[in-house]
Each structure stands twice: as C-alpha cells, then as structure tokens.
Structure 1
C-alpha cells in the first residue's frame, strides 16, 4: 500500500487512516454486520474496507470519487466476489435506494470538505438507514452532538437530535492519518429514531434554525424579524419571552416555534 501513499488529493479532503486498531474500533461500533448491507464512503486504499469485510457483511458497497483509488481495490474485489462492489461516483449525488437494499448501515471516514453536506443528505432520508458510524472533523462532530446552552449548539445539532439518537464515541489524533490533518477527528454513532421526537415540518424547522443561528448572539425577538413581522404572536404561541438567544432553546422549543410559523403562514394564505 505504501507505494500509493504519495498523492492524496487535498481537493477531495483525503486523509487516510493508518492504524488498524482504529479501523477495528470503528467497525466494532457498527455492531453485527452479517445480516446487513453496508455503504462505505471514500474507502481510499481500503484500510477500513478490509475491516468491514472481515466482519462478513451481507454486502458492501463502496463509493469512491477518485478513479486512481478505485483501481487499488482490485485484490479486494477478487477476494470478495459477490459481496463487495466499488463504484466511482460522487456520494452526494448517488441515490442509495437505487444501488443497495435495506437493511443498510453506513460506515465511513468522511472527507472533511463534504462531510456536513453528506450528513444532511442522509438526514433527509434517515429512515432508509439502520445506523451510521461516521468519522468527522472533531469540530463538526461536536456541533452534531452539542446540547443547548453551549457554543457548539446550532442548526445541525437541532436537526440531528430531532431525528436520531447520537453518541460521540472517541477522538482521533492527526498522527493517525496520512497526510496528517491540522485538526483532530471524532467518531460518532447515529441511530435513526422510528419517528422524530416532535411533530414538525422539517423544511420550516431547517429555515428557522439557519436564520436565527446566523445571528446567534441576538435575542430571538430581533432575529425572528428576518422571518415575519408577527414576531410577538410567534413568541406567545411558542411560550417564549423573546429575550432568549438561539443557543438557549431546546429541540422541542424550536419545534414549537417552527409549528407556530407554519400555522401563521397557513392563516395568511
């Protein structure tokens, strides 16, 4: 494998895991794989791929954007004919349902530059997946698992925790990758809920949280003016004073506020 370790592409956010101990820990978090189809994003030279295959998944589908890296998997393809496939594609643009059948688990060391976009894509269709075991830049992982009244709490936290049980499992130092990134990484486990925690229109909730967290130091009364002129009515329906800042609201309170916006818009039609 060392002969291939010379040209990682920074444009694709490529940082490859060197430690087999870390790949073992990651795959172990995904639990039993024997009755599941698995998706891996950005398999690179196959370190994590090999560990996944060692756990005998029903089928493994790897998505790799770099054509040079796809060629590195010929031996694995020969060794695991019938239950391993790698395709050259952009993971953001694939339709998972067209490529693999449920039940599906995702296990991936996500490229830093597309990790949030990919995760949001999966959240929009979260019921398709049984679980996701994902490595992010530590800063992103902290945002996903953040609780109210913390500096990392934001739109990503609210949407993730509305739809899933999420746990941060462990951090990884830069020295465990090639090339060494300038940041630490973290592995999280994501278990989709049978139904979302609170009834709410996801599109309205997403727009609301993006608007108010874009001005996170402002009180809600002020930031909500970017959404409607009926701010006080919204606050009253959601049982909020308006003096709160976005980071002070729980997921449930955001859902109440989003529902108030939806009700108000319906009455204005």
Structure 2
C-alpha cells in the first residue's frame, strides 16, 4: 500500500532508528498510546516492552498490517479513529509515543498535554517544530508552543533523524524529543487551562506588543497593562518572545 499524502504518512524504514527510539523511552510495564502506527514497525517493538499499547490510526486501509500485529500481541489494541477526536475520560496516565504527522503535530501535542493524562512523551517531529519546543527567549523560533511545553514538561532532544530514513522521503529532517511531566509546577491544575490561553494570546499577533495583545484579551485599560509591565521591569514595547517562562507565570498571576 502506498503512503497517503493527505494523512502525512512517511513510514520509518530504518530498523536501527526504531530500536533507538524504543530504547530512549521508559515504557517497561507502562501503558502506551501510539499515534499514527502506520504499518506497525514501531508498534511491534513497543508491544514487546509495554504493559498495554493503544495505537490510534486514522487510515483504515492499514488494517491489513496492524490487525496481524494485534493477533500476535495480546497487549496491543488498535483504534481506527482520529486521535484528535478521542475523549480522554480515563484517570490512567499514559506514555505517548509516535512519529507524529507533520501537519497536525501541534494539535496532537496540545491535546495530549492539556488533558493531563500523561507521564511522558517520546515523539518524532519535524526538526523545525522540535527546535521551537526547546528554544529559549529572544530566539526567532520561540513561541507559545515553547512556553507551554516547557511549563508542563522537562524537554530533551534525543536523536536527530535524517529525512532519508523514511518512505516516501519528506522535504525536511526530523528529531526525536522526550517530554517528562513536571511534577512540581507553579500553578494549580485549575489555573493551568487559563494560563495556556494566556500564553497563546500573548503570541497571538507577533507584530503587536505584549501590551496590545493583553489589552485585547482581557479588555483592560492599556495604560494599566503598561503600568503593570513597568512594575515588572519591562519596557512598554516588550514583545512576548522576549519573556522567559518565569516572566509569563509572574505576569499571569498579576493580570488574571
């Protein structure tokens, strides 16, 4: 079966890469969610080590490959559905593993992190996205994704991956990153959803100053917002990409 462009399918062709990815995880006797198992090359190795694997595959034409693996592994379940439509009602904590489709990497990541159903994630993403996630303030790549992921998790780069290790060969290289849930976060769970909304709003219009973005979000008097920024030693024209994670948390606690 040929990969389908509409699903962003690029199948891993290198066995050594699969072994490296699985070796970088901490899934022994853990519950694993895999997004986009494709033909099951990574799925097969995950099932050897994990307690339980649930793989979400949107392309039902891959049943030929995946149902065979299900029959061979009693700890593997494949759900043929769009991961973004899944309702996480369970209190279970999962390890997220996957070669994420480039075109929906960010929505998948936000869905998993915001639902608070994870312990860790080991994911392969487009190199540019990986660079954004680990980037720091005053970097061109630093954005809302950087701040939110670094607030919720401790991030590390695991492996740089050449585009040549996929079929079909994509136009860009990839990177495997590992995200470990931060256990002692600065905000309560009740406040975190609002904090994520706050950070996204700060970066909403990058050409605008932080004062303008915050004024639009909360309907506050701009002069009051600027006064607050000054109280925190920021210039009036400061932009979101200049703030550290600690800066965002401090401002959030004062504004919201």
TM-score normalised by L of structure 2 = 0.89
Q: Does the CA-based 8 Å contact 1:143-1:152 persist in structure 2?
A: yes
Identify the match of residue 84 of structure 1 among 76, 81, 92: 76
Please state how far the C-alpha of 1:237 moved relative to its aligned partner: 4.8
Structure 1 counterpart SS, 2:85: coil
CA, structure 1 residues 231+120, in 2 after alignment: closer, same or farther (shift >3 Å)? same
Match of residue 38 from structure 1: 32
SS at match of 2:130: helix
Query: Is 2:201 the counterpart of 1:211?
Result: yes
Matches within 5 A, 1:69-218: 69-81=62-74, 83-98=75-90, 102-126=92-116, 128-198=117-187, 201-218=191-208
After superposition, the Cα gap between the structure-2 partners of 1:244 and 1:16, relative to the gap in structure 1 and judged at 3 Å, is: same
CA contact (8 A) 1:198 1:252 kept: no
Cα 1:139–1:222 change in 2 (3 A) is same
- Given candidates 59, 66, 71, the residue that maps to 2:52 is 59
Residues 175, 193 of structure 1: alpha-carbon distance in 2 compared, 3 angstrom cutoff: same
Contact 1:163–1:195, Cα closer than 8 Å, also in 2: no
SS of 1:92 mapped into structure 2: helix
Aligned to 1:17: 12
* 1:170 Cα offset (Å): 1.8
Q: For residue 71 of structure 1, report the CA deviation from its aligned partner.
A: 2.7
- CA apart distance, 1:198: 4.8
Q: Secondary structure at the match of 1:148?
A: coil
Q: 1 CA distance for matches of 2:135 and 2:156?
A: 10
Three-state SS of the structure 2 residue aligned to 1:105 is: strand
Give the gaps of 5 or more residues in structure 1.
Answer: 263-269
Q: Which moved more, 1:191-200 or 1:9-18?
A: 191-200
Greater than 4 Å deviation, 4+ residue runs: none
C-alpha separation in 2, matches of 1:215 and 1:95:
30
Deviation digits for residues 43-98 of structure 1 (CA, Å, limit 9, x no counterpart): 000111112123x21111111010011231232122112x1111101101112444
Contact 1:162–1:198 (8 Å) recurs in 2: no
Cα distance in structure 2, aligned partners of 1:211 and 1:129: 25
